[in-house]
Amino acid sequence: MSVIFLLLTISTLMAGIFLLAFIRSVRKGQYDDDRSPAVRILLDDPAPAAGPAHVPITHPIANEPT
């Protein structure tokens, strides 16, 4: 029976620690920007800056364009 009380005490303490960590993260602003990462994939990329149109990639071993 004492094992049940020990496990209940430990689990209650752990739940309290996780609750405090969650409240702290909410107050620090960890969950403020929850929409834009999901929507960002749907938006177009900005136009690339002016520069070379094509830069050939060379194979690291053969040193030939792939």
- Per-residue pLDDT tens digits for 35-57: 676 777 777 777 666 666 666 66
Q: Are 41 and 32 in contact (CB under 8 A)?
A: no
What pLDDT, on a 0 to 100 scale, did the predictor assign at position 11? 98
pTM of the model: 0.51
26 within a domain of the structure (yes/no)? yes
The pLDDT-based confidence of 6 (bands split at 50, 70, 90) is very high
10 within a domain of the structure (yes/no)? yes
Number of domains in the chain: 1
23 within a domain of the structure (yes/no)? yes
24 within a domain of the structure (yes/no)? yes
CA–CA separation, 66 and 51 (whole Å): 21
25 within a domain of the structure (yes/no)? yes
Domain that holds residue 26: 2-30
Q: Are 64 and 58 in contact (CB under 8 A)?
A: yes
Q: Would you say residue 30 has pLDDT above 90?
A: no
CA–CA separation, 66 and 64 (whole Å): 6
User: What is the pLDDT averaged over residues 7-20?
Assistant: 98
